[in-house]
Structure 1
Amino acid sequence: MLRHPEYQYLDIMSHLLEKGDRRMDRTGEGTLSTFGAMMRFDLSDGSFPAFTTKKVFWKTAVKEMLWFLTGQTNIQSLLKENVKIWTDWPLAAYRKATGEEISQDLFEKRVLEDDAFAAKWGDLGPVYGKQWRRWLDRNGVEHDQIGALIHSLKTNPTSRRMLFHAWNVGEIDQMALPPCHMTYQFHVSGLQRGSGRPQLSMLVNQRSCDIFLGAPFNICQQAALLAMVAQQVQMDRGELIWVGGDTHLYLNHLDQAKEQLARKPMPFPKLVLTRQPDEIDGYRIDDFEVVGYQSHDRIDAPVAV
């Protein structure tokens, strides 16, 4: 019997608990860290790697990915979808700049209701979506990396240059948070088979990964991205390969990690795309149907900002 693919994730977390390098970090919380981790997920049968040893709110993860694909950088549109995962950074900036100890709920309410306030305090700077869809070169020309990728997949699928990334050195200091999942590279196999459709695989390079809170979220949204791109270029899903640079477990997540490690994975659900939009940024959350997702209960843990 094949080992459940979720054990790849659990093995990384177990390794961190046993052998992780204890160190201080930017947030002041401290971590157990390792360098260089890998997970591979075969999505060819429609599997969707929403981890099961704790509940993953996959809709929130996919909504964030859809937001990236639009090229937007302001949390107002996220909050309209009830996605609050980016609020911590602009809230901290507002409190520091104004000295006002505003609550998160009130800050989000003001961003939602006041466009001028949102424009000033809700923007995250040139984060993922800006770089993916509107990378600005030194001549002032914007480059749509996602559009170029899809064009290459359709016209030159054996290219070794089918990738996009967000590590724009000249704009990192303007970002609320430098990109963690930096590079997405694509590979097409089965072009010479003579029958059936080719398979599209994707490799994600993540320079920094919060293994307890971040990884489950990132993996399922990246699987959703692979499904969308494959549909757009008339290919089948292949493998999602994830490579982590500084992969770490925060010291205030240790008990939660031990609780999760005591649980046994359940079968992964399947992902069905119920519609094919004309463009990659035309997907909506209602286009995603996740069938058969069962999981253990959620495990709460604080976010390190």
Structure 2
Amino acid sequence: MTLRHPESQYLDTLAYLLEKGDRRIDRTGVGTLSMFGVMMRFDLSDGSFPVYSTKKVFWKTAVKEMLWFLTGQTNIRSLLSENVRIWTDWPLAAYRKATGSDISQEDFEDRILADDAFAEEWGDLGPVYGKQWRRWKGADGKEYDQLAEVIETLRKNPSSRRMLFHAWNVPELDQMALHPCHMTYQFHVSNIGEGLRQKVSLLVLQRSSDMGLGNPFNVCQQAALLAMVAQQVDMTPGELVWVGGDVHLYLDHQDLARTVLEREPRPFPKLRLLRRPDSIDGYTIDDFEVTGYDPHPAIEAPVAV
């Protein structure tokens, strides 16, 4: 029996959305084809790195975003310094609305990089992902590092069912540029007590997923996180289990989806971490060696803000 390519799970979802998706108006006003409830599983134990091949995914940008989350930062300035522009749309829209300016994205980004005060006022996204992962502020006034606690539990009590972190901090939602989409990360360890090398797997619950642009990025960066955590706790990466709630295709991404569905998926690349930093905080993009990535061409598509 020949196993289907794991990317087929993604392609099947796109095909379903095009054929049977529920047409609806969404928060952005663009409109979507939507379905509720999807699960995809990717086995990372042989070094596979689930970077989709039916359109080129800029995996370095995706991993850089994950590394930014891990810092706990919330300002786009550090992202822009790494040539990552995927979060600019939200503060740019806020600036234009507040000031009436028709400033270009390029000029806005240049000013963020050059002007400390401007960056502080207009470059901050509010308490988004990394803030909640690494600096959740409790009612007691203390800050809680959820990810550090997960890593400590993986080392000391790997059979725990409480190894998770999330970003849905209800009192702070209205301060965020965008409510958390990939909101819950839960870890699970297998081979406990069997004399085998333990495997750590990761389940990500994503309440809302843009399948045209967002999902290929998210799956890639979540796999990178699993690889880093596994290395830090001396385990082998197991499965990345991705679960989507409102899974949707924007109406202006239908041509993208049709083009992707005409293409045959190619083998996933392999990922190797070139060194082991002292902690989860020490990784840089140069630590990621990805080999064998041979995707079909990239497809341009607009981002809904």
TM-score range, shorter chain: over 0.9
Q: How far is the alpha carbon of 1:197 from its aligned partner?
A: 1.2
Q: How far is the alpha carbon of 1:256 from its aligned partner?
A: 1.1
The equivalences for 1:257-268 within 5 A come to 257-268=257-268
Matching residue's letter, 2:252:
N
**Alpha-carbon distance in structure 1 between the residues aligned to 2:225 and 2:115:** 32
Say if 2:241 is the partner of 1:245: no
**Alpha-carbon distance in structure 2 between the residues aligned to 1:179 and 1:115:** 27
The equivalences for 1:156-195 within 5 A come to 156-194=157-195
The equivalences for 1:7-26 within 5 A come to 7-26=8-27
TM-score (norm: length of structure 2): 0.99
Match of 1:223 in 2: 223
**Alpha-carbon distance in structure 2 between the residues aligned to 1:298 and 1:38:** 25
Match of 1:278 in 2: 278
Q: How far is the alpha carbon of 1:228 from its aligned partner?
A: 0.1
Match of 1:290 in 2: 290
**Alpha-carbon distance in structure 2 between the residues aligned to 1:10 and 1:246:** 17
Match of 2:214 in 1: 214
Matching residue's letter, 1:263:
R
**Alpha-carbon distance in structure 2 between the residues aligned to 1:140 and 1:192:** 39
Match of 2:76 in 1: 75
**Alpha-carbon distance in structure 2 between the residues aligned to 1:92 and 1:279:** 36
Q: How far is the alpha carbon of 1:192 from its aligned partner?
A: 1.9
Q: How far is the alpha carbon of 1:69 from its aligned partner?
A: 0.2
Structure 1 stretches lacking a partner, 5+ long:
none
The equivalences for 1:7-156 within 5 A come to 7-156=8-157
Which aligned runs of 4 or more in structure 1 are off by greater than 2 angstroms?
Answer: none
Q: How far is the alpha carbon of 1:298 from its aligned partner?
A: 0.3
In the TM superposition, what whole-angstrom CA distance separates every residue of 1:190-240 from its partner, at most 9, and x where no partner exists? Answer: 01221x310000000000000010000000000000000000000001000
**Alpha-carbon distance in structure 2 between the residues aligned to 1:200 and 1:177:** 30
**Alpha-carbon distance in structure 1 between the residues aligned to 2:99 and 2:261:** 42
Matching residue's letter, 1:273:
L
Q: How far is the alpha carbon of 1:304 from its aligned partner?
A: 0.3
Q: How far is the alpha carbon of 1:281 from its aligned partner?
A: 1.2
Q: How far is the alpha carbon of 1:71 from its aligned partner?
A: 0.3
Q: How far is the alpha carbon of 1:139 from its aligned partner?
A: 1.3
| Partner SS for 1:38 | strand
| Partner SS for 1:276 | coil
TM-score (norm: length of structure 1): 0.99
| Partner SS for 2:42 | strand
**Alpha-carbon distance in structure 2 between the residues aligned to 1:119 and 1:172:** 20
Match of 1:269 in 2: 269
Structure 2 stretches lacking a partner, 5+ long:
none
